[in-house]
Structure 1
Amino acid sequence: MVVFAFLGVPACAPEVRVDTSGHVGDGVLTVLVGDGPHRQILEYAAERTGSRLSIRIESAGADANRRVAHGTADAAYFQHIPAFEGRTAQDGITDLAILARVHVVPYGLYSRTYTSLDQIPHFGSVLVPSGQAPLARSLYLLQHARLLTLNKEFGGTSLADLTVTDANVMDSQRHLTITQADPEQFPEVIGAVDAVIMNPVTAQENGFAPATPLLREPAPRNPYTNVLVGRAGNAADPRLVTLARQLESPEVADYIDAEFAGSVIAANPRRIDPPVPTSPDTEPGEPAHRTPPPRP
């Protein structure tokens, strides 16, 4: 049995600001980029191309995909796959394609009480971020930890894949109680649960080391991989091919490992995470059901 509870409502994400940098000239490749890791990774990859490529880096605003589709920019690197597919579908953009899969900001399973997955108790409690996408990612991570079983495998990007809920839970090996809360409430309730699922920023804000969760999302086939996109008809442009290969290179993977210490992981990792230990709890649990949410 998996019991679900809810606290509060999800918060809105802050607006991202990016400054313009780079140089302009004939044959320059214009790439629209997000702030933070996107820009750092792109700048590192661009430096590695040396004289082979001249890149102008500009801020990726809300119209970034349209700009690429309309030809006023060559590529964009600021969004994960579901965001890319959702935005382009909403805007009626059909001629963009994924050119490179670069990095993941992974959800992790953390605990202040336990040091291994095997220690999480039967009828234990797990705190997860509120919202449709965070719940889905949390459930897939618990399945990766072999603490429950879904009727879907991790990796799909269809709406059904990205919106799994307790209705998709087939078995619960530990009969977990899963409580959803706004991450801003985590400091108030995190001490009352056995484990918590968070992104790296929330983990750090709550005193955890983002690089050392009990388990984190796998990088290969992760549907939340951040991608470089461009016009499908330009996919063979040698400049874009050079940049895409560099972004997916082992050297960039090593840079991501060293620079971000687990808060960002390469979509094409040099090192694969060790397999999850086989859980001693092999007996199937009961189908999930939802209980009324408690008052915040």
Structure 2
Amino acid sequence: MKKFTKLIALGTLTTALVACGTDDGEDVNDEGAADENGEEAADDEEAADDGEPTELVVGATNVPHAEILEEAEDLLEEEGIDLQIETFNDYILPNQALNEGELDANYFQHIPFLEDQMEEFDEYDIVDVGGIHIEPIGVYSQDHDSLDELPEGATILMSDSVADHGRVLNMFADEGLIELAEGAGIEATIEDIEDNPNDFQLEPQYEAAILPQAYENNEGDAVLINSNFAIDHGLSPFEDAIESESADEDNPYVNVIAVNSEDEDDEDIATLVEVLQSDEIQDFIEEEYEGAVVPVNE
């Protein structure tokens, strides 16, 4: 996507040289100069089309998104794309950077989070162009071995991302620990809790990235951690969590490639999605993360 910008710059430089004339001040035949420079511009364009890779800048959180992109670099190079990965350690900056044109795409968020961001920031015009994987969220505790063992009044630490609250609350509701308002669904919030017989103290004010540290410090009776941050701290939602969200085909929290709407039909973006959805990359996800990250074709 950066190739077009380079060609504009070359064209501007060529025009400037024609306007300035030669170094010794001698007149030049305008038609001849135009022909000569036209041929040079054509040669430059042909060279750009003949093998110079297109640069694609994609923002991602470290694990697993950046790791998956790194695995795809060689495959994208074969398609004429020079992938540049910009890493982030939070959930807000990647969409800001995309909106401001600093990125061509980002890869870190699930669809409910993207929809929540679109509602919060009116200036965003971001769309998802393809799902890549699912990260089951897990409940972690150093003092209790199951949700049933959580004591009355247990403190539950949660992300401040409202888009994740529904998945957490539904997990507790499925275990019969709380009751949600009818029809709350995946968009459930703490206000939708109609019955909390164990008087759980839900504390949703933590940045998602610091929740693993809170768990390591044994803060709270249980900590809800997104898989990307759990994996980055050596935790597995299936081996270390006392309960883990289902990752079946009905899970709506698929992580996607997101772009500004004007780039929705860009060929390089389409190639990026195709490579990430290829058997080679999806097999890598399955083998590398052993169920902690689930490929979309699982």
**TM-score, normalization by structure 1:** 0.58
Quote the Cα distance in structure 2 between the aligned partners of 1:268 and 1:137.
18
Out of 159, 168, 193, the position equivalent to 1:169 is 193
Letter in 2 for 1:232: S
**Residue 98 (structure 2) aligns with:** 65
From 48, 58, 68, the equivalent of 1:41 is 68
User: For residue 287 of structure 2, what is the aligned residue in structure 1?
Assistant: 258
Contact 1:150 1:170 in 2 (8 A): yes
Provide the rounded CA distance (Å) in 1 between the counterparts of 2:56 and 2:232. Answer: 35
Residue in 1 that maps onto 2:28: none
Give the number of equivalent residue pairs: 229
CA distance in 2, matches of 1:179, 1:269: 37
User: Do structure 1's residue 216 and structure 2's residue 240 form an aligned pair?
Assistant: no
SS for the counterpart of 1:92 is coil
Give the Cα separation in 1 of the matches to 2:76 and 2:283: 16
Distance 1:188 1:116, change over 3 A: closer
Does residue 55 of structure 1 match 2:77? Answer: no
Does residue 93 of the first structure (1) align with residue 121 of the second (2)? no
- Which residue is 1:198 aligned to? 225
Deviation at 1:142, TM superposition (A): 1.2
Q: Distance in 1 between matches of 2:224 and 2:263?
A: 40
Alpha carbons 2:237, 2:244 under 8 Å: kept: no
Question: What's the offset of the Cα at 1:41?
Answer: 0.9
Are residues 128 and 141 of structure 1, via their aligned partners in 2, closer, same or farther at CA, if it must alter by over 3 Å?
Answer: farther
CA shift for structure 1 position 101:
1.8
Is 2:273 the counterpart of 1:244?
A: yes
Task: Report the CA distance between 1:169 and its aligned residue.
Answer: 2.4
Task: Check the 8 A contact 1:124/1:176 in 2, yes or no.
Answer: yes
| Unmatched runs of 5 consecutive residues or more in structure 1 | 1-23, 156-160, 271-296
| Corresponding letter in the other structure for 2:283 | D
1:130-183 CA-to-partner distances (Å, cap 9, x unmatched) read 64636544212213444333234554xxxxx26x11x312456xx333224564
CA change 1:31–1:262 in 2 (3 A) is same
Contact kept? 1:29, 1:239, Cα under 8 Å: no
Which of 256, 277, 281 aligns to 1:227? It is 256
Query: What TM-score does the superposition give when structure 2 sets the normalisation length?
Result: 0.58
| 1:32 Cα deviation from its structure 2 partner | 2.0
In structure 2, what is the Cα distance between the partners aligned to 1:210 and 1:115? 13
**1:140 matches 2:170:** yes
Give unmatched runs, 5+ long, in structure 2: 1-47
Aligned to 1:77, the other structure's residue is in SS state strand
Structure exhibiting the larger radius of gyration computed from Cα positions: 2
Please name the residue that 2:32 is paired with.
Answer: none
2:56 is matched by which residue type in structure 1? Answer: T
* Correspondence for 1:77: 107
Q: Does 1:32 pair with 2:58?
A: yes
Instruction: Determine helix, strand or coil for the equivalent of 1:226.
Output: strand
Cα distance in 2 for residues equivalent to 1:49 and 1:229:
17
Question: What is the SS of the residue equivalent to 1:259?
Answer: helix
Say whether the 8 Å CA contact 1:108–1:215 is kept in structure 2.
Answer: yes
- Amino acid across the alignment from 2:65: H
* Identical pairs, percent: 24
SS in 2 for 1:229: strand
Alignment partners' CA distance in 1, 2:267 and 2:115: 25
